[in-house]
A = this chain, B = another copy of it.
C-alpha cells in the first residue's frame, strides 16, 4: 500500500485509528475459552466490530510468540482474515526487529512473505544495513522507532550529539530518512511526548508517524494532532488495551466497537478542523 492509498482510506473512513491486537490469551473473555483458536476468534470478533472505525490493525507479536506454534497459527489466521475480508486495512507487525543484514532479511521474509503484513516496526540501534532489507519489498513499510512512549525513552533517545547538537531521536530521523522515502518509511513517536512532535515535523514534515500511547499509557489525541498532523494527515494513532479489553463480558466486541467509534468521532472532528475532509 502506498501513502496515497493510505491517505484516501483515512479520508474515506474519517479516521486515522490503528487498533493494537495485544491479544493476551489470559485477558480474553471467558466465553471464548472453549474455542479451537480462542485468540483468533477474539481478534475476528474485535475486527468485525471495529473495522469501519479503523484504518490499521497492529498485532503485537510478543503476545503471539508467547504461545509458541499455537500463537503463530493465531497470528496467521488473523492476518489471513484481515487480508481476505478487509483488504483496505493497513496491517502492521509490531515486532521491533532489527539485526545484521542476513538476519533482517529473514525477518523481512517472515513478515512480508510468509505473513502478508504491510509494515513492520524496527529498532534503529544497528543502523542502515539492519533496516534496508525490509525496504527492498515494494509497497511494504518500515516503521522505525524514533521517540518511544515509555519512561526508558529518556535513557538514550535524548542524548545530544556533540557535533551536530541533535538529540539521538532527531539523529535517527535525519539519517534514516535518507534510507527510504515517504512511501516506505514511517516513524514511531509516542503520544506521551506530543510536544516533541513540533521538532520532529521540522525534520520530517511529510512522513507518516505511528503514534502509540493514547489510552492506557496516558497520551492525548488532541495534543498529538495539534503538533503532528500534516496536510495528508500523516498520523496513525494506535490504541490497544483501551479498545480491545474495554469489556470482558460476552458483549466485549460490541463494547470495543463503541470505544473505537468514540475515538473515530474525535478523529473525524480533528480531520474536519484541519480541512483534511
Contact = CB atoms under 8 A, between A and B. Distances in A.
Q: Which of A24, A60, A125, A175 has the most CB of B within 10 A?
A: A125
A78 to B, nearest CB: 13
Nearest to A169: B125
Interface string A12-43: 00000000001010000000000000000000
Given A128-B151, A153-B127, A171-B159, A69 B72 contact: yes
A76 B114 CA distance: 20
A156 B106 contact: no
Contacts of A205: none
A63 interface: yes
Contact of A160 (B100, B106, B163, B176): B163
A149 interface: yes
A129 B150 contact: yes
Contacts of A172: 156
Nearest to A128: B152
Contact of A126 (B107, B130, B153, B175): B153
A162 B163 CA distance: 8
Contacts of A103: 22, 60, 62-63
A65 B126 contact: no
29 contacts: A22-B102, A24-B106, A62-B104, A66-B107, A68-B72, A68-B110, A69-B72, A69-B73, A96-B97, A98-B123, A100-B148, A124-B125, A124-B155, A125-B156, A125-B157, A126-B145, A126-B148, A126-B152, A126-B153, A127-B152, A127-B154, A127-B157, A130-B150, A130-B152, A155-B176, A156-B168, A159-B161, A160-B161, A168-B168
